[in-house]
Amino acid sequence: AAVRVRFAPSPTGKLHLGGLRTALFNALFAAKHNGSMVLRIEDTDQSRLVAGATESLSDLLSWSGLHIDEGPMHGGEYGPYIQSERLNHYHEHVQLLVDKGAAYRCFCSPERLEITRKMQQKSHRKTSYDGFCRNLDKDLVEEKLYNKDPHTIRLKVPHNEKTTINDEVFGAITFDHSVIDDQVLLKSNKFPTYHLANVVDDHLMNVSHVLRGEEWISSLPKHALLYQAFDWEVPTFAHLPLLVNPDGSKLSKRNQSVSIDEIRDEGILPLALINFCAFLGWSSPQLQQEIYTSIGAISSDFSLERISRNPAVVDRRKLSHINRKHMNALVADADTSIKTGCEGGLTNIFSNNNLDYAVNYVHQKLQDKYGECGIHNGSLDYVRDVVLLCKGSVGTLNDIVEKCEYFWEEPQWDNLGHKPIPPLYHLEEVVKAIETISPTNFTETAIKECLDDTREQLGLKPKEFLPGIRFSLLGTTTGPPVQDLLLFFGQEKSISRLTRCISHVQEQQ
């Protein structure tokens, strides 16, 4: 049978790491088995909907590079893919259960349910529905329906039985029906509960494998009983381990640092985040493998057997480390032109080319910071050259904008904070040496020979010689290698910055 998986979020807020990890594992599994990945929006809890959440979620999945085969924005033969547009399916199927005696109408008022709950709590019993309407006389039910009395529909859970479900990660899970409530399937407002809609849609959309977070294991008994009640084949379940903080506490959605839009806006590369998420509960069969250069490469190695039951630690230092590795791996293709973002801004420009993404991202941030016309040397080609020059000395794309101002503005030579200004007495000799290089031969080799010869003539060690040159070029002592900077700025601009730094320092003395 064809592999069909789904990512089924509720549009009740932002997409977080846990959601992206679930989407990723589904996408990897589908790709590995030439299957289909479905995006379904579960919006049955209308009271919690957040305006724009569906569009944001779709944009972020697109940004991350995950391939969706079917969904609200993608179409497909099993649509619609938004649950509030599928109410007829739920009404039809819940009626099937009522007709066969597997579900019943419950006319209990919220007040009666609350009184019952309090009495159960008072006598230290488990709080659950007491079955008051489970066996109502048929004529009484008809009368109440005729009077249009508000009611819900509940599943009639078989008593004195047990059910076992095999989970691909956690193994066999057995539950006793006595601990399962006669759950509500259809609410009094005629909207389905999450459990009914979820099971009906998974069946109607031919979902073969359900990969979801461990927190949903508690819902597994309810879902299993619904499959039994409908006489449907149960899909293969695989529950993914919980995400925890480094101290072992559960990761909270209220923590902004785990929302994907916040991580994106920190300047993390999409593929770096995907690479990081892949290891949240899964281990590569290539035990030394840490960096994957494409989603396809991860999917080739992916399998359910290598998903752990143990909680997965979300360590932001690990994400920073992986992002640095991906930053350092940015390379220029043979085709050096940069493909600009299409309409709709940054969210739509992701391609498998990390460099294209990086350049467009930095260019957009520069426009935000300096304005459309105010960017100093802000052409895409110039930005591309800066990104390639800086990639090994910064942690995020934002660093290129915020910490490398010397590429967008003229350097300032006044303030290094608590650090002393490095020795500058040799700069005039450096300028003279650079001036001797032929403008047509201002190459990496010529620059290296010039620097080496000058340093040896002055009898200086590299750590005495290079920091002053970098400081004069950038206004700081940290940054790319000096010979790369000279090559990047070119002979004329390098000499200009060096001489202006010399003049500035002399004026200060």
Phi/psi of residue 155, nearest 5 degrees: -75, 135
- H or E element: which one contains 244? strand 243-244
Query: What gap in Å lies between CA 119 and CA 130, rounded to an integer?
Result: 11
Cβ–Cβ < 8 Å for 71, 82: no
Strands (E), 323-456: none
Query: What gap in Å lies between CA 445 and CA 423, rounded to an integer?
Result: 25
* Tokens describing residue 488: 């990047």
Query: What gap in Å lies between CA 83 and CA 10, rounded to an integer?
Result: 10
Cβ–Cβ < 8 Å for 245, 265: no
Angle, to 10 degrees, between the axis of helix 482-508 and the axis of helix 444-458? 50
Query: What gap in Å lies between CA 423 and CA 419, rounded to an integer?
Result: 12
Supply the Cα-derived Rg of the chain in whole angstroms.
Answer: 31
Q: Is 355 exposed, middle or buried (0-12, 13-18, 19+ CB in 10 A)?
A: buried
Cβ–Cβ < 8 Å for 499, 507: no
Cβ–Cβ < 8 Å for 264, 319: no
Residue 285: asked if its preceding bond is cis (omega within 30°), the reply is no
Query: What gap in Å lies between CA 31 and CA 278, rounded to an integer?
Result: 14
Query: What gap in Å lies between CA 108 and CA 152, rounded to an integer?
Result: 8
* Tokens describing residue 393: 């000395």
Q: Residues near 262 by Cβ (< 8 Å), separated by ≥ 6?
A: 256
* Tokens describing residue 495: 């000499």
Which has the closest alpha carbon to 134: 101, 161, 166, 167? 101
Query: What gap in Å lies between CA 171 and CA 149, rounded to an integer?
Result: 44
* Tokens describing residue 29: 């599994």
Which residues form the catalytic set?
A: 253
